[in-house]
Copies of this chain bind each other. A is one copy, B any other.
Amino acid sequence: MKIQSFKFNERGLNRFFGPLEAKIMDILWSGEKSIKDVQQELEKEKATNFNTVMTVMNRLVEKGMLTKRPEGRTSFFRPVLTREEFLNTQSKEMTQELVDEFGSVAVSHMIEALDEADEALVAQLEQKIKEWKKDR
């Protein structure tokens, strides 16, 4: 299942996940782990129930975000996409949707957004356009 909602209010992974989900994804992007591993990691910051972690992790599997690899009695979980792949995918989809939905209005806003953000990004964009023209 795909991510289907982007929250303006939040930051980082919390834009795509609930807060606990986000923490779990983050932990699993540091390597394959069992439920207990994750729970202990979370415990460092705040008392966390094992079953809570299990439930959320299993839901993430159902959503297609994690894979579950049983090994004996214990299962090990791993994100389907790397963090980079994930963010890349999301960014791409978002951008596509933005242009589909808003067309030329979005284009104006892109420049404005880049303007406030970083001069180097505009240069990069310019370069991209150059390449794009070559392929025509």
Contacts and interface: CB of A to CB of B under 8 A. Distances in A.
Taking chain A's interface residues, is the majority helix, strand, or loop, or is none over half, making it mixed? helix
B88 A103 contact: no
For chain A, which range describes its interface: under 10, 10 to 19, 20 to 34, or 35 or more residues? Answer: 35 or more
Given A91-B106, A102-B87, A110-B110, A129 B121 contact: no
Contact of A105 (B15, B88, B101, B122): B88
Q: Please tell me how many copies of the chain the complex holds.
A: 2
A90 to B, nearest CB: 8
13 contacts: A6-B8, A8-B93, A12-B101, A15-B101, A95-B109, A95-B110, A99-B110, A99-B121, A104-B120, A107-B114, A107-B128, A108-B128, A111-B132
